[in-house]
Chains A and B, each alone.
Chain A
Amino acid sequence: MTQAITLHEITKSYREFTAVARFSLQVERGTVFGLLGPNGAGKTTLIKILTTLMRPSAGDAFVEGFSVLSEGREVRRLIGVVPQENNLDRYLTARENLILHARLHGMRPAAYNPRIDELLEMTGLASRQHDFPDTFSGGMQRRLVVARSLVHEPRVLFLDEPTTGLDPQSRRALWEYIRGLRHTMTVFLTTHYMDEADALCDRIMIMDHGVSLADGSVGELKDAFSRAHVYEVEFRGDADGYERVLAGLPWVRSVERNGGSYRLTLSGEDALKPLIDSLAGADIRKISLKEPSLEDVFIALTGEKVRE
């Protein structure tokens, strides 16, 4: 079996709404998989189901072949979890947080002490191991949470929006660290940052409103949507009047203004000529094809900008 994670027709419903609907997915062992979507897409719900914090309304999920419904304890032996919010114990030192985690996994001091030493060195926290997490910066706390999740050498690591709230330097440092984990374990991360998914993931699934919208490697998604036809049009002089005109054109899926220029997502490559025809006589300074980013892919799929 090469699938580290399998989701089979997972549904999670609450009284008023459905967070995830018949969601299926397989993640190959040893890869970094990214689940990308805006806030409220259902990403955290899926992670909670996979980490046995939540039971699905229907369907089942398997981590390294163990069912989250009937073999939850076995699943928890194998997984490490970096939650969206830091849930460090502020009344324990950095080292004590890691020791408690090790004990909860049934490790003995002879096993966990050297492992904790190694992780503290790798995360650059060795000199602060006897300090309390409240005295750490946000980036350091995040690194400690990641170190904690690795104490028991999990086979699958779940990271739920790992760099939310971090400054750019801390984000990049954490990205480097996560990159170092690839091939030693399977990494499943959720994010709403396009650049993060782009930087880290071997494979990305884009989801929103509880359903999968697209699935593939970063390159595959961009290629598939390279004909997503995003053009940047810059006008000379007063560009105010063009916004309504452009938005009203039936083959323009979305319009985003940035000062005097507009970023247009067209419905297809055959929409370019009608666009030029519509703008005939307009005082255009520049019109250029934009290589699609994942954001463009998302807009092409949903017609909306990413909700932050």
Chain B
Amino acid sequence: MLQGAFSIWGRDMLVLRRSIFSELLAVVAYPLTLYLAFGFGLKGYISDVGGIPYPLFIAPGLISMTAVNAAFDESSWSMWFHRQVQRTIEEYRVTPVTVYDIVIGKILSGFSQGAIKGAVVFLVIMLCTPFRIDYSHLPAYVFCLALASMTFSCLGTICGTVIDKPENIGRVQSVVIVPLIFMAGIFFPLSSYPASILPVVRLLPTTAVFEGARDALLLGAVPTGYLINLVLSAALSFALAVYTFNRKMAE
């Protein structure tokens, strides 16, 4: 069972291994730059947020952002590329593997990339900055991040499946993904929002990801509401990804 999915995942990991250095260099540069620019550049203006030093406030979000972005990128572009350019999805589809194997394999690949890249950014921030955590909080944080990466990997798979023009994937990232991420409390507390829209913002899956991840890493526990949001988002996005891929292949 799922042998086909693991074969496809294995292929993606082999390809990642070949270009791991350049991939990690690229993926580390952006969040590290943001951390240094905002965490240290603004330190003189923003000393703390709710009692948490500002660099410590933004670090978990940057690590989470790296992980979910990597998961989305890998799933969306990989699915698109294999479908539209290389047409290797057709090669997979004339073997005994099922449609579910293919989509699960791609989701696993996105999730793995998110996990690896998030972990590397975490290590780099730990090494290069005074950011420090209580390591007993790591399991809760990793669990939160795993659910988030799964969700974004599924969303990436959906995009890579339904979108035929590559520029439209970039547009989805610019118009949907990045705003959802940046407005979910990475750089500022949610209390900055007007009280009238705060309940809506709290319901967003990205809020659950970034606020939940911060609480997990700094306080050791994910608030129940966010945890339920994360689990439901992961489950729903997975079901939608499988349905979308199945339907596209049937077309």
- Interface residues of A, Cβ cutoff 8 Å to B: 51-53, 55, 73, 76-77, 79, 81, 83, 85, 87-92, 96, 100-101, 103-106, 148
Instruction: Report whether A76 and B11 are in contact in the complex, using a CB–CB cutoff of 8 Å.
Output: no
Instruction: Confirm or deny: B172 has a beta carbon within 8 angstroms of a beta carbon on chain A.
Output: no
Identify the interface centre among B4, B11, B15: most chain A CB within 10 Å of its CB.
Answer: B11
Residues of A contacting B: mostly: loop
**Which residues of chain A have C-beta atoms less than 8 A from B3's C-beta?**
103, 106
Alpha-carbon separation in the docked complex, A103 to B10 (Å): 10
In the bound assembly, the distance between CA atoms of A77 and B90 in angstroms comes to 15
Smallest CB separation, A244 vs chain B (Å): 47
For A55, the chain B residues whose CB sits under 8 A away are 250
Number of interface residues of B (CB under 8 A): 22
Cβ-defined contact, B94 with A52, below 8 A: yes
B127 to chain A, nearest CB (A): 31
| Contact of A76 with B96 in the complex, beta carbons under 8 Å | yes
Tally of contacts, chain A with chain B, CB under 8 A: 58
Tell me whether B86 and A89 are in contact (CB under 8 A): yes
Interface status of B87 (Cβ within 8 A of chain A): yes
Residues of A within 8 Å of B91, CB to CB, are 81, 83, 87, 89, 101, 148
Asked if A52 and B11 sit within 8 Å, CB to CB, the answer is: no
Q: Given A91-B18, A101-B91, output 16 extra A-B contacts at Cβ < 8 Å.
A: A55-B250, A76-B94, A76-B95, A81-B94, A87-B87, A87-B90, A88-B86, A88-B88, A89-B11, A89-B86, A92-B11, A96-B11, A100-B7, A103-B7, A103-B10, A104-B7
- CB contact between B86 and one of A51, A90, A96 (< 8 Å): that residue: A90
Which chain A residues border B14 with CB–CB below 8 Å?
Answer: 92, 96
18 A-B contacts, Cβ less than 8 Å apart? A51-B94, A53-B90, A53-B93, A73-B98, A76-B96, A87-B87, A87-B88, A91-B15, A92-B15, A100-B7, A100-B11, A103-B3, A104-B4, A104-B8, A104-B96, A105-B95, A105-B96, A148-B91
A148 neighbours in B (Cβ, 8 Å): 91
Complex-state Cα separation, A51 to B3, whole angstroms? 21
B93 near A77 with CB under 8 A, answer no
Q: Is B97 an interface residue (CB 8 A)?
A: yes
A289 vs B161: C-alpha distance when bound (angstroms): 57
Q: Contact mask B60-100 → A, CB, 8 Å, 1/0?
A: 00000000000000000000000000111011111111100
A122 CB → nearest B CB, Å = 20
Closest Cβ of chain A to B22, distance in Å, is 14
A85, B88: Cα distance in complex, Å = 11
Q: Which residues of B contact A104 (CB under 8 A)?
A: 4, 7-8, 92, 95-97
Rounded to whole Å, the gap between the CB of A83 and the closest CB of chain B is 6
Across-interface contacts of B88 in A (CB, < 8 A): 87-89
Minimal Cβ-Cβ distance residue in A for B91: A87
**Residue among B4, B91, B93 with max Cβ neighbours from chain A (10 Å):** B91
- Find out whether the CB atom of A73 lies under 8 angstroms from the CB atom of B7: no
| Whole-angstrom distance between the Cβ of B2 and the nearest chain A Cβ | 12
**For residue B97, which residues in chain A have a CB less than 8 angstroms away from its CB?**
104
3 closest A-B pairs by CB? A104-B95, A87-B87, A103-B7
Contact at A73–B15, with CB atoms within 8 Å? no
The interface residues of chain B lying within 8 Å CB-to-CB of A88 are: 86, 88
Distance between B245 CB and nearest chain A CB, rounded to angstroms: 14
How far does the alpha carbon of A294 sit from the alpha carbon of B179 in the complex, in Å? 62
Residues of A within 8 A of B250 (CB): 55
Flag if B7 contacts A79 (CB, 8 Å).
no
Most buried by B among A51, A83, A87, A101: A87
Chain B residues whose CB sits within 8 angstroms of the CB of A105 once the complex forms: 95-96
A-side contacts of B90, CB under 8 Å: 53, 83, 87
Shortest Cβ distance from residue B82 to the other chain A in the assembled complex, whole angstroms: 8
